[in-house]
Structure 1
Amino acid sequence: MFDLKAFIFDLDGVIVDTAKYHFKSWKIIGKQLGFELSKTQNELLKGLSREESLEKILNWGGVSIDRMEKKKYLKKKNELYKGFINNLSQMDILPGVYKLMDFAMIKEIPIALGSASKNAHQILEKLGIKKKFKVIIDGNLTKKSKPHPEVFLKGAEMLGVNPKSIIVFEDSIAGINAANKAKMISIAVCDNRMIENAKFNFNSLEDISVEFLETLSLNESK
């Protein structure tokens, strides 16, 4: 039976809505490249590294640039994004986050972050919750992006926990697929939409009750 030992949270769209700032930043970069990035296309960038996101945008726009130009746009995108998130505070933490963190603290369940963001430490500091995470795996510690399970498997290793005993909270298809590949319990938190491959779907973390977590009993082989 499933034996809960740890939580791993994605960052963007799960703990804080910084996804909109990624979209705004990439949209500006897209316009500079002569390409209009759509919301649908932006969804496909979730969970990807900055470099992989730029490659997709260039491909969508049919644009070819050299390595130095790519570095320039990657730097510009990060500068734009950092400017947008500079004023983040505890007020920006999404509903349900504190409830799950309090539950984890009471049950002595360690919490980890598994994110492609290279600004994760800065964001958690601004939100005032960095100390709540026993382990932080971000884009600076991984070579492969979601849906590859590296970020979650590395989190399990650093926590010293069997991957099958971990619940992952995600909001992207790539993230859910990564959690599934890691043999973890995947919970999608997506407002008004479902991710088909997720083990469970909720509109937000706020909708996940303590009772649900306490009674969660699943076959490890699933």
Structure 2
Amino acid sequence: MKYKAIIFDLDGVICHTDQYHYQAWKALTERLHIPFDETINNRLRGVSRMQSLNIILEKSKKQYTALEKEAFAEGKNKIYRNLLAGMTPDDLSDEVRKTLKALKSKGLKLAIGSSSKNTPIILHQIGLGDFFDAVSDGNNITNSKPDPEVFLKASAMLKLAPQECLVVEDAVVGIEAASRGGFFSAAIGDAQTCKSATYVLHHFGDLLNI
């Protein structure tokens, strides 16, 4: 592999927390009497909590203040964090675990580049709290994807230039962010149709063949 590091999105790439996000947003929208389904949920992939809330509120007949929106977002996050408490290392697939170890054994630096502020909790729950060489997440960025900030900060933590890093993403906005930041990218899951991706992964383990 010609790269010195790989930067992974977390949700949908390393592990899958989509069902928890969906359940938490569903609980909020039912309380607010706002329509919410999988189609709307798919629009929330890779974007920040407040951006997600604004997308959801497009279906609302009411207008809410900034303070009300902050309260809604925090309420959703409390539900989500309670659901995350049930995650265990079993939520990390054998394929992902073995591939990460194999990549590290090759001397590659591994990092996380996620918009989620819950990244530290998730990594701890799945047994990867101290595994990655750098973690850039929603706690240290101001701009969400498709802005490349989260990946640029990850590469800076690794002391590497963007062109020395490969970004692995399952969201189109994530691939767009990688492209804007000058990174090479590998698309998996929903991002496979993104034409700006450098590579397409059908399985996580395909990283070993790049």
Instruction: State the TM-score bracket (shorter-chain normalisation).
Output: over 0.9
Distance 1:70 1:194 in 2: 33
- Once the two structures are TM-superposed, the CA of residue 104 in structure 1 deviates from its matched residue by 2.3
Partner residue in 1 for 2:78: 79
The 8 Å contact of residues 167 and 185 in structure 2, kept in 1 or not, is answered as yes
Mapping for residues 131-150 of structure 1, pairs under 5 Å: 131-150=130-149
Distance 1:122 1:209 in 2: 25
Mapping for residues 43-192 of structure 1, pairs under 5 Å: 43-190=42-189
Paired amino acid for 2:53: L
- Once the two structures are TM-superposed, the CA of residue 198 in structure 1 deviates from its matched residue by 1.9
Paired amino acid for 2:58: N
The 8 Å contact of residues 170 and 192 in structure 2, kept in 1 or not, is answered as no
- Once the two structures are TM-superposed, the CA of residue 92 in structure 1 deviates from its matched residue by 0.4
Q: Deviations over 1:136-186 (max 9, x none)?
A: 111010000001000001111111011011111111011111111111111
Partner residue in 2 for 1:200: 199
Distance 1:146 1:209 in 2: 23
The 8 Å contact of residues 166 and 185 in structure 2, kept in 1 or not, is answered as yes
Q: Return closer, same or farther for 1:94/1:172 CA change in 2, 3 Å cut-off.
A: farther
Q: Percent identity?
A: 34
TM-score, normalization by structure 1: 0.88
Distance 1:179 1:193 in 2: 14
- Once the two structures are TM-superposed, the CA of residue 96 in structure 1 deviates from its matched residue by 2.8
1:146 is paired with a residue whose SS is coil
- Once the two structures are TM-superposed, the CA of residue 209 in structure 1 deviates from its matched residue by 5.2
Q: Return closer, same or farther for 1:11/1:192 CA change in 2, 3 Å cut-off.
A: closer
Q: Deviations over 1:72-93 (max 9, x none)?
A: 2111101110111111111101
Q: Return closer, same or farther for 1:191/1:50 CA change in 2, 3 Å cut-off.
A: closer
Contiguous gaps of at least 5 residues in structure 1: 214-222
Paired amino acid for 2:40: Q
The number of equivalent residue pairs is 210
- Once the two structures are TM-superposed, the CA of residue 193 in structure 1 deviates from its matched residue by 5.6
Q: Return closer, same or farther for 1:190/1:95 CA change in 2, 3 Å cut-off.
A: farther
Q: Return closer, same or farther for 1:192/1:111 CA change in 2, 3 Å cut-off.
A: closer
Deviates more, 1:44-53 or 1:2-11: 2-11
TM-score, normalization by structure 2: 0.93
Partner residue in 2 for 1:219: none
Q: Return closer, same or farther for 1:176/1:90 CA change in 2, 3 Å cut-off.
A: same
1:188 is paired with a residue whose SS is strand
Paired amino acid for 2:21: H
